Structure formats: structure tokens, C-alpha cells
Amino acid sequence: MMIKADIAGYLMRMIFHIIGILFLQLMTTQSILALPLSGSFKLEPGLNLVHEPIAAGQRLTAAEWMEQLGGEQVIERVQTIQQATQSLETCRYDQFGILQGNACDLLLENGKGWMVTAKISKTVNYSAK
């Protein structure tokens, strides 16, 4: 019985992961899914699929965005798809609260989706004026 539950849980996580990757692929190719220039969204504990609008001329790295979202107390990691290699790029906090990963220096771009793993619920206000 336990093995079936473990396999079912694993399969559900894999399906959710694949759906997330497909969503990110769609976000990187479809600008019609872009959020308005200002508003709010709610992060929930666990995986959240997000697209942050960026104003023309604004430069914001994934690491800076993680700090804006609430830092280590709120965010565990952010991930996006590297379109050329179809691999995930990650920026995460290590056990000492230091940002690590190949996505930390990436600039956020309009039309590019991110997977945000949150530790707690938080409403995030944004503005791309």
C-alpha cells in the first residue's frame, strides 16, 4: 500500500512539474498572457507560476526580485526555462541565506514566466510604470 502511495505522490509531482514547464514555455512565447502594468497577485506556499511586468528601461535581476518579493523569509527559490537548452535555471537561498544558482543574475524580461516557490502566503503589489 505504501509503495502505491509513494508512486502516486511522485507521479503527481512530476505531472505538476511538467505543467509548470509547459506554462513557462507558453509564457515565453505568448505576450497575450502578460499581466497589466500594475496590480497585485498572491503567492501561496509551494509552487507559483508568475510573470512580473517590467517597464521599458527597468533592469531587475532574479536575485533583486526575490528580495522585493520578501527575501528568504518568503521565497525559497525562483526558476525559469533557458529556451536554448530547455533546462531550468534556478536562483535559491542556501541554508545560510545566501543566494545561489545560475539564474540569480538573469534580468527579468516581459513575456518570460517564472516558477516561484514560496514558503508562506503573501500578496505582492507590482507596478511597471
pLDDT, tens only, 20-64: 666 655 554 444 444 456 788 899 999 999 887 766 667 889 999
User: Residue 110 corresponds to which cell in the numbers above?
Assistant: 516581459
| Host domain of residue 107 | 2-127
Query: Are 90 and 78 spatial neighbours (Cβ–Cβ below 8 Å)?
Result: yes
How far apart, in whole angstroms, are the C-alpha atoms of residue 34 and residue 77?
A: 22
How far apart, in whole angstroms, are the C-alpha atoms of residue 57 and residue 6?
A: 48
Amino acid in position 81: I
pLDDT at 1: 45
At 90-110, the pLDDT tens digits run 999 999 999 999 999 999 887
Does the structure show a pLDDT above 60 at 3? no
Picking from 24, 21, 42, 20, the residue whose alpha carbon sits closest to that of residue 33 is 24
Total domains in the fold of the chain:
1
How far apart, in whole angstroms, are the C-alpha atoms of residue 98 and residue 6?
A: 32
pLDDT at 27: 52
Q: In Å, what is the CA distance from 107 to each residue of 2, 57, 91?
A: 44, 12, 12
How far apart, in whole angstroms, are the C-alpha atoms of residue 33 and residue 36?
A: 9
